[in-house]
Structure 1
């Protein structure tokens, strides 16, 4: 006789246990929220800025899960389950919202969802600067912005807005990006292609090889590209597969990115950075007096002197006067650490307008 009924009964029993354990965990998370409020000196009804999203703590949890996991669930599946458990716990403690470059279906939307799960509110914005504004004005708790791509490099719009913002980097996340060509027209009937500049840049070899004579039109987001392609005969969009269902388009060709390992790095921004972990990165901006020979070289040497590894160096026009640049440096360590404190002090000898944009746990894929 089949043992299926007994196995189903065991599943039912385990589900009951899971529900009880999950609710017990949720109650403990509420106790943690109350303890955080108590530490601020606020009463239970006061509106205080309690940081319920702790990327450093989450990193520790994921590492522990990987260490404890003996299967048959793989690590990715286990992490996805706990992502939703932690998302629900965050929502229990505080109403959390995150601004992203919309409309729904953009890679920014997917990256935010991957990081914060289903229980927070997602607020689409028309442009990247609107994401910064939403966080600065307190309209959303957090924001997420594309920072750089492994194929097409830095997202210059994001760099430019970091020059004039008061927000701070709180976390980073990486999203493997598979670009698709979506349209309701056949490939040989496509006359124009819409996408974000990054989307066009990440697929330029494929586009040149397969539809070289089509007009390429840059728009504010990949999902906006899908919206436009859905309304125009002969139009296509370079965007994510999810946009096909969202905007009623067909997948003409999937995975058209020039590099198979195409990955975009996103930064999660908020009012403040997280507390130190044992593996952090810090993002700093500064300017130099270009009339002083070797000023930039001297400034960068400071990081070497304190054993701070450099992961990214970039520059953008300051917008204040011609040929005046703001330099971006990402280094190892947390701004509360003694090495970075000393380095920043020494940096003042060679650099001007030094700003720490934030410190965050290192999540770079190995």
Structure 2
């Protein structure tokens, strides 16, 4: 068995090898960026898509196949997340707009997906995340889309009705809500949080703070900022907000469902290329004067073998009782089946908009 000094020398040698290999990988990444520009000479450099979620998914799947340990898959993926994040930053200055201020679950989801080498730009509300991408003020944006226990995020759905942004990827984050305050539990008279935070903790609030006012604000971190300034106020948010905003953790894991998970969508100016395992988000309206128009429209997806994963509706804001429907189906909008389905859908539906296609990373 080798002695301690010999083992340390071996570690030093391996570290040198790793540095050389990582820099070699980085140079190849730069070559890939140059190749993209040569292949698309008419595309403005800011429009070159450096974040390829399909390729990222392929890499993670390959890592899991070839990993023989002792590192587990999560550890290996975390290491490669930072390697890929650094490679993206080498090709282009990448910025991610998220629902701020710092400490939100949106920020955590973005960091978990895109790593430490890109810039993160907090926005006051979900609408601002979309606007930042649409105006080119940020490369990509991340928005909460739905929660496993409290359903769809209506602010995001409403903004999808009027946007030029496209869905590029999805990502999931397990949500553990905490109650933060500088007051004791028995002295708390009001609780701030995003409507989703309040919705995900209704049972706990009814049991432990039945008389406290529940006040919705733009984000969970905004709730923490407000609670830090008021006596008798608390926030439902992430535990990391305690350090950021100078609050104490009164209670942990107060979500009503232990497996509480939020799905986020990453938006950009274009979707990624097909991966043979994709989902597509589509919005449309129907002519309510035509009996069965919605039923006929939805049947189109079945007729073309497209599985439906999510159906939503929101008021279109223009006419009473007139709704925009959202459908998430299997496939990529470049697939022939979806092209044919969309053409058929025009017989029953109006204002059909493809909001983007993205690699399927659905957590069952």
TM-score by length of 1: 0.98
CA distance in 2, matches of 1:233, 1:321: 44
By how many angstroms is 1:65 displaced? Answer: 0.3
1:145 aligns with 143
**Aligned pair partner of 2:299 in 291, 298, 301:** 301
Unaligned 5+ segments in structure 1 are none
1:340 aligns with 338
By how many angstroms is 1:42 displaced? Answer: 5.6
1:16 aligns with 16
How far does the alpha carbon of each residue in 1:243-299 deviate from its partner, in whole angstroms, 9 at most, with x for none? 111111111110000000000000000000000001000000000011111000000
How far does the alpha carbon of each residue in 1:125-150 deviate from its partner, in whole angstroms, 9 at most, with x for none? 00100001000000000000000000
CA distance in 2, matches of 1:182, 1:81: 32
How far does the alpha carbon of each residue in 1:198-254 deviate from its partner, in whole angstroms, 9 at most, with x for none? 000000100100111111111000000000111111111000011111111111110
Residues 287 and 325 in structure 1, CA contact (< 8 A), matched pair in contact too:
yes
**Equivalent runs, 1:252-263 vs 2, <5 Å:** 252-263=250-261
**Aligned pair partner of 2:224 in 204, 223, 226:** 226
1:91 aligns with 89
Residues 301 and 308 in structure 2, CA contact (< 8 A), matched pair in contact too:
yes
CA distance in 2, matches of 1:42, 1:343: 32
By how many angstroms is 1:47 displaced? Answer: 3.4
CA distance in 2, matches of 1:47, 1:40: 9
Unaligned 5+ segments in structure 2 are none
Residues 181 and 254 in structure 1, CA contact (< 8 A), matched pair in contact too:
yes
Helix, strand or coil for the counterpart of 2:162?
Answer: coil
2:27 aligns with 27
CA distance in 1, matches of 2:241, 2:315: 34
2:7 aligns with 7
By how many angstroms is 1:2 displaced? Answer: 8.2
By how many angstroms is 1:5 displaced? Answer: 1.3
1:163 aligns with 161
Residues 192 and 235 in structure 1, CA contact (< 8 A), matched pair in contact too:
yes
1:108 aligns with 106
Residues 37 and 45 in structure 2, CA contact (< 8 A), matched pair in contact too:
no
Matched, 1:74 2:96: no
By how many angstroms is 1:117 displaced? Answer: 0.5
By how many angstroms is 1:90 displaced? Answer: 0.1
Considering only aligned residues, what root-mean-square deviation do their CA atoms show, in Å? 1.2
Q: Which runs of 4+ in 1 moved over 2 A?
A: none
1:118 aligns with 116
Residues 42 and 48 in structure 1, CA contact (< 8 A), matched pair in contact too:
no
Helix, strand or coil for the counterpart of 1:231?
Answer: coil
1:207 aligns with 205
Aligned residues: 364
2:132 aligns with 134
CA distance in 2, matches of 1:200, 1:250: 19
Residues 183 and 232 in structure 2, CA contact (< 8 A), matched pair in contact too:
yes
By how many angstroms is 1:48 displaced? Answer: 4.6
CA distance in 1, matches of 2:206, 2:143: 28
CA distance in 2, matches of 1:297, 1:42: 43
By how many angstroms is 1:309 displaced? Answer: 0.1
By how many angstroms is 1:6 displaced? Answer: 1.3
By how many angstroms is 1:189 displaced? Answer: 1.1
1:37 aligns with 37
1:358 aligns with 356
Helix, strand or coil for the counterpart of 2:47?
Answer: coil
2:215 aligns with 217
**Equivalent runs, 1:239-278 vs 2, <5 Å:** 239-278=237-276
By how many angstroms is 1:184 displaced? Answer: 1.0
